[in-house]
Amino acid sequence: MLPGCLVWVAAAAMGLALFGCAGPGTKSTTQIEYQPDMYVQASVRPFGTDHVDPKLPAMRTPPAHTVPINYTPFPQPSDVTGVDSIVDPLPVTPAVLAKGRQLFDNYCIVCHGALANGLGYIVPHMTQPPPLILGAPLQFSDGRIFTIVTEGQGNMPPYRSLLDPAQRWAIIHYVRVLQLAANPSPSDMARAESEGMNFSHDLPPAEGPNGPIPGAEAIPRPGVNGIPH
């Protein structure tokens, strides 16, 4: 029985010794690891060097015209140079306009209002944004509006990370519809009258700086509703 007891004692002592070496902070060298690739991966570290050639930096300049997977390369200039030459590439279809309205109501309505008149839900609690249906915005090109939505302007944050390019272009088509609805031409009105259309109840009330503004009065005009000349 004595040899058996010695074997048991020796095994227990070895187990205690191994257990004592496993405590945190007791060793300065890496112990034997199972599947070390799970811990030490061949990933690129910022400002590190290449795994194959240590003389080269890990971060390389991508080849020309490289784009990420699933990226749609619509023009997205970061400045205003040449933006007026960019035209909305999406077709004007009921599906595109419906998508543009959905996105506008989700992302833009809170500031710009349902009619793009600048009377969003933030008014009068926050600064009223300029209306998009009169004045200078009527002269903005598709490319300029796209750049403003992408990069932001003034108090408006950039939406490049929230809306992909196609979604931004769909919103622009819908903004054009709102602009046309607020500024119908005489021929548009004549056609509407000939077809018996009545728009008197189409405009919902909006919250203005001094309280609710009913119907057609919600459309800002120079010198009216606090809109300067």
Report pLDDT digits (tens) over 165-218.
999 999 999 999 999 988 988 888 888 888 887 766 665 566 666 776 655 555
Are the beta carbons of 220 and 131 closer than 8 angstroms?
yes
Residue written as token pair 């009105």: 189
Average pLDDT over residues 102-130: 91
**How high is the pLDDT of residue 91?**
94
- Residue 226: partners with Cβ closer than 8 Å, 6 or more residues away: 128, 208, 209, 210, 220
Are the beta carbons of 204 and 109 closer than 8 angstroms?
no
- Residue 44: partners with Cβ closer than 8 Å, 6 or more residues away: 58, 59
Identify the bridge partners of residue 153 per DSSP, sorted by sequence position.
156
157: pLDDT strictly greater than 50: yes
Average pLDDT over residues 219-224: 49
Query: HEC profile for the chain?
Result: CHHHHHHHHHHHHHHHHHHHHCCCCCCCCCCCCCCHHHCCCCCCCCCCECCCCCCCECCCCCCCCCCCCCCCCCCCCCCCCCHHHCCCCCCCCHHHHHHHHHHHHHHHHHHHCCCCCCCCCCCCCCCCCCCCCCCHHHHCCHHHHHHHHHHCECCECCCCCCCCHHHHHHHHHHHHHHHHHHCCCHHHHHHHHHCCCCCCCCCCCEEECCEEECHHHHCCCCCCCCCCC
Better-scored residue on pLDDT, 34 or 3? 34
Name which of 33-37, 119-123, 135-139, 221-225 the model is least confident about. 221-225
**How high is the pLDDT of residue 113?**
92
Specify the amino acid at residue 100: G
A 10 A CB-CB count for 88 gives: 19
- Quote the CA–CA distance of 189 and 228 in Å, as a whole number: 27
Tens-digit pLDDT profile for residues 50-96: 878 888 888 878 888 787 776 655 555 455 567 888 889 999 999 99
227: pLDDT strictly greater than 60: no
**How high is the pLDDT of residue 225?**
45
Phi and psi at 212, nearest 5°, equal -60, 140
12: pLDDT strictly greater than 80: no
Q: Which domains does the chain have, with CATH numbers?
A: 83-193+204-218 (1.10.760.10)
**How high is the pLDDT of residue 195?**
85
**How high is the pLDDT of residue 206?**
63
- Quote the CA–CA distance of 173 and 44 in Å, as a whole number: 42
Average pLDDT over residues 118-132: 88
Please state, in angstroms and as integers, the Cα–Cα distance from residue 171 to each residue in 28, 103, 222, following that order.
Answer: 59, 7, 25
